């Protein structure tokens, strides 16, 4: 089985890209990844591309060939859709193809263009990732769904809005030094607590922004890296995926996400590690409560004990397990189809020492990227390690 090496990474800035098309955004990220790898488009054997609501946002389906063409690649390509986990699934498929020896070099990434739709249309579009009959017809949107999860968690285990505010403060502080982040300013706990309520108990600073952006990686087999003399200091050593019932009312629990646990279990086993070996993590924090649920389901902390980690400094830079040093979805931004790939980009750059916040983890060797779709009906986990 071939190890999957990360040969190149590329990102656009996440935020508002008025007047730019989706193909333009992906071209920027994809071409940057190819340049970083030092690989020509002609060498690419496959393209794996994640996107969620291109039909609604740009009236554009069948985006795979379009995006391959935008980066000058003439190779088999496919679009993967798993709501907010779309490009996490794309990374997983590319890794599995390389591990199986079916391909040696691939571009993998994703893109979403959302801000042109306006808040109301985006909220409605994103809500299509929920159960249209049993949630959508009742008016459930994702702020409301995650608010229900937060209320259930606080009722079961305790915690407060202040604990959630510390998560937002941490991630804004991390994004402040990240030039690719949507929000590059810090906030205080008081500002987070005084922000308008979106869906109780979640306020404005508990929610990620609506963002445009794209992310891409060039992944290669170990054989390809060695034969071409590529500088590829990091590798994806473990990949996992999991699923759960789509509608919240069909779940066994609203305070735990078994899709994440399943994905993590598979990824840890493939990499030959446990959660205790992870030095840093990028987790799916579309809302602050989502970071809590992720950290528990990933096995970093026992159930019911994750709410105070940011408050106690465990997950801050300099803490035992720095989480979302990129700023996370909360402050880096969340262009849905790009998020999973962007998380892997961030982990790779942090481990390689090329991320703006890499100085916070100078000795890190193992990182984790966790991507989730909807209310975590879909999840992927990738382990990234420094290769000796």
What is the per-residue pLDDT for 388?
73
All residues at 6 or more sequence positions from 284 whose CB lies less than 8 Å from its CB, including other chains: 84, 85, 290, 291, 294, 329, 339, 343, 370, 371, 372, 376, 379
Count the Cβ atoms, other than its own, within 10 Å of residue 228: 16
Kind plus residue range of the DSSP H or E element containing 106: strand 105-112
What is the per-residue pLDDT for 133?
96
Count the Cβ atoms, other than its own, within 10 Å of residue 365: 16
Rounded-to-integer distance, Cα 281 and Cα 332, Å: 14
Structure-token pair, residue 106: 């691939």
Tens-place pLDDT, residues 367-377? 999 999 999 99
* HSE-up of residue 237 (Cα within 13 Å, Cβ side): 22
Peptide bond into 111 cis (omega under 30): no
Q: At what angle do helices 288-297 and 258-271 cross, to 10 degrees?
A: 50
Rounded-to-integer distance, Cα 334 and Cα 86, Å: 12
- Of the candidates 172, 334, 370, 382, the residue annotated as catalytic is 334
Dihedral sign computed on CA atoms, order 285, 176, 317, 274? positive
What is the per-residue pLDDT for 291?
98
CB 79 within 8 A of CB 50: yes
Rounded-to-integer distance, Cα 361 and Cα 325, Å: 9
Structure-token pair, residue 370: 């966790």
Q: What angle do CA 89, 329, 312 make, to 5 degrees?
A: 120
Whether 166 is catalytic is no
Count the Cβ atoms, other than its own, within 10 Å of residue 42: 9
By the 10 Å C-beta count (0-12 exposed, 13-18 middle, 19+ buried), 38 is classed as middle
Rounded-to-integer distance, Cα 340 and Cα 245, Å: 21
Provide the H-helix boundaries in the chain.
Answer: 22-37, 54-57, 63-70, 86-99, 119-126, 142-157, 161-175, 189-194, 222-227, 258-271, 288-297, 328-332, 339-352
- Of the candidates 84, 172, 208, 382, the residue annotated as catalytic is 84
Rounded-to-integer distance, Cα 199 and Cα 208, Å: 13
What is the per-residue pLDDT for 126?
96
All residues at 6 or more sequence positions from 303 whose CB lies less than 8 Å from its CB, including other chains: 157, 255, 256, 296
CB 143 within 8 A of CB 210: no
Query: Coil, strand, or helix at residue 213?
Result: strand
Going by the DSSP 8-state scheme, the letter that residue 287 receives in this structure is: B
Q: Which domains does the chain have, with CATH numbers?
A: 4-118+209-386 (3.40.47.10)
Whether 382 is catalytic is no
Q: Which residues does the chain have with pLDDT short of 50?
A: none
Q: Which residue in 23, 18, 43 sits closest to 224, CA to CA? A: 43
All residues at 6 or more sequence positions from 68 whose CB lies less than 8 Å from its CB, including other chains: 47, 49, 74, 75, 77, 107
Q: Which residue in 115, 160, 375, 344 sits closest to 255, CA to CA? A: 375
């Amino acid at each position: 089985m071939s190890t999957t090496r990360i040969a190149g990474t590329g990102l656009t800035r996440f935020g508002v890209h008025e007047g730019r098309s989706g193909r333009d955004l992906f071209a920027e990220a994809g071409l940057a990844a190819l340049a970083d790898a030092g690989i020509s488009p002609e060498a690419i054997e496959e393209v794996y591309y994640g996107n969620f609501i291109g039909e609604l946002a740009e009236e554009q389906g069948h985006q795979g060939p379009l995006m391959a063409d935008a980066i000058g690649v003439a190779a088999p390509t496919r679009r993967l859709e798993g709501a907010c986990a779309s490009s996490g699934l794309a990374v997983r498929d590319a890794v599995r193809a390389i591990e199986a020896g079916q391909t040696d070099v691939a571009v993998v990434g994703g893109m979403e263009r959302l801000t042109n739709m306006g808040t109301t249309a985006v909220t409605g579009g994103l809500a299509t990732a929920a159960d249209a009959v049993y949630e959508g017809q009742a008016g459930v949107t994702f702020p409301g769904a995650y608010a229900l999860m937060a209320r259930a968690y606080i009722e079961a285990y305790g915690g407060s809005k202040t604990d959630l505010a510390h998560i937002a403060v941490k991630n804004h502080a991390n994004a402040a030094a990240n030039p690719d982040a949507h929000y590059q300013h810090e906030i205080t706990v008081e500002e987070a607590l005084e922000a308008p309520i979106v869906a109780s108990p979640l306020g404005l600073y508990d929610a990620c922004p609506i963002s445009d952006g794209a992310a891409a990686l060039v992944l290669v087999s170990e054989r390809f890296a060695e034969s071409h003399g590529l500088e590829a200091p990091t590798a994806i050593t473990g990949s996992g995926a999991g699923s759960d019932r789509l509608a919240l009312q069909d779940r066994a629990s609203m305070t735990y996400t078994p899709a994440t646990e399943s994905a993590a279990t598979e990824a840890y086993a493939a990499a030959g590690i446990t959660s205790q070996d992870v030095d840093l993590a990028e987790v799916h924090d579309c809302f602050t409560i989502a970071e809590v649920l992720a950290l528990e389901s990933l096995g970093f902390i026992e159930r019911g004990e994750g709410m105070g980690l940011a408050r106690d400094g465990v997950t801050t830079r300099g803490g035992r397990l720095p989480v979302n040093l990129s700023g996370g979805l909360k402050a880096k931004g969340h262009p849905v189809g790009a998020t999973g790939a962007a998380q892997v980009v961030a982990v790779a750059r942090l481990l390689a020492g090329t991320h703006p916040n890499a100085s916070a983890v100078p000795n890190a060797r193992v990182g984790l990227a966790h991507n989730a779709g909807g209310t975590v009906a879909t999840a992927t986990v990738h382990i990234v390690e420094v290769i000796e």
